[in-house]
Structure 1
């Protein structure tokens, strides 16, 4: 597998297991989420057997968000974290729910309005690599299941570091590397066999869920991502494995 720098030098990057031009990945990822937006929440419940709710609850605890905080929720999708953050920061705080995909962000906005989260939340379509916010704007930045879809992860991490205030920190919840070796064949069979079939039956889109499985395998493992965060300027970088490393919570601090 080529490193990120090598891929960028050659003008290509990975879209799942395929090599595509850099400019093309964003379009392809956008098409994936445009396709799955309507059934996204249902598929999350089915694919993870509901575990994604527990993972997000643990991730929220790791943010240590308090009343009055200003928080940026990147790759907000249908708004699970944005809703929880809105309740935590209270009326004294502010949440910016952001996603690069308009269909996903619109679905999240409609859901949060239905939930009554209207007083302290804004919605911004934004590219994580080029955040349209001033320096030191936020106390926390969160990103759940979105970093692996970013073309230039190093740029996104640097942009996040720039918009965090001293004393703030980044929390990334992302699929990671299963560390229980004996379970890997079973995990692969589920990822590459069951998930696409489920996607075909429920979301009428097998290819998007095949991409999901491939994108997880191409994402940096726990140690590599921690190192990337350090290179972006975060300090005291740490991670916590969940469900045997199927996902991991990464944290990086700004002092």
Structure 2
């Protein structure tokens, strides 16, 4: 089973699974607010990359200036089906796309005021991550902002221990009982273990040309495990 197929299979129960994670929705709201507070008060043109079933999109729509256009993009048709089935303002839409393989001209290179990417880049092969980050850079207008929310435990033994414990004692067993899709949740555990350290990902953002890069960690049990990165495309292109 491919990763896309695993997400397709898990789409029907995905919202229920994440609802069992204390703080999941709170941290999505914090990420969306971190992006929105850096935007102007006028309606914005925004992207929600790896939008999944639309939970991150909802957080972004709620935080963005009223009337903002939000385009959700995801690789999983099953997740997109769940997202489209929800009620949205008319200026919200969803389309399929794979970050790292997007046609930047088709999506409107340099035309987005902001982009949000929650739980995206650890699902991109390490060899392709720099290109994926650069692709998002090219989609943003000069002066546009990117907000990334991602799990990272590399370089922190304490964070790794907590992540391993929670994954094997809670997340993977729930994936068996609730979703009957343990392969997806074992993958999610491993993808976090294998992902960049915070410093490595900050370096990726800088190499792509982003400036004003900042980072903060989550609260609660996810402290030191879940991180939010904010970065800006300079006013002048690379």
TM-score under structure 2 normalisation? 0.86
Report the Cα offset of residue 78 of structure 1: 1.3
Would you say 1:122 and 2:93 are equivalent positions?
Answer: yes
Give the Cα–Cα distance (whole angstroms) in 2 for the partners of residues 160 and 183 of structure 1.
28
Would you say 1:54 and 2:33 are equivalent positions?
Answer: no
Report the Cα offset of residue 247 of structure 1: 0.4
Contact 1:229 1:252 in 2 (8 A): yes
Contact 2:44 2:65 in 1 (8 A): yes
Contact 1:90 1:120 in 2 (8 A): no
Contact 2:29 2:60 in 1 (8 A): no
Q: How many residues align?
A: 222
When residues 108 and 189 of structure 1 are mapped into structure 2, their CA distance, relative to the original with a 3 A threshold, is: same
Contact 2:75 2:97 in 1 (8 A): yes
Q: CA RMSD in A?
A: 1.9
TM-score under structure 1 normalisation? 0.81
**Structure 1 counterpart of 2:130, from 144, 151, 154:** 154
The answer for unaligned runs of 5 or more in structure 1 is 1-26
Match of 2:193 in 1: 217
Give the Cα–Cα distance (whole angstroms) in 1 for the partners of residues 158 and 150 of structure 2.
22
Report the Cα offset of residue 184 of structure 1: 4.1
Would you say 1:99 and 2:84 are equivalent positions?
Answer: no
Q: What SS does structure 2 have at the residue aligned with 1:236?
A: strand
The answer for unaligned runs of 5 or more in structure 2 is none
1:1-40 equivalences under 5 Å are 28-40=2-14
Q: What SS does structure 2 have at the residue aligned with 1:89?
A: coil
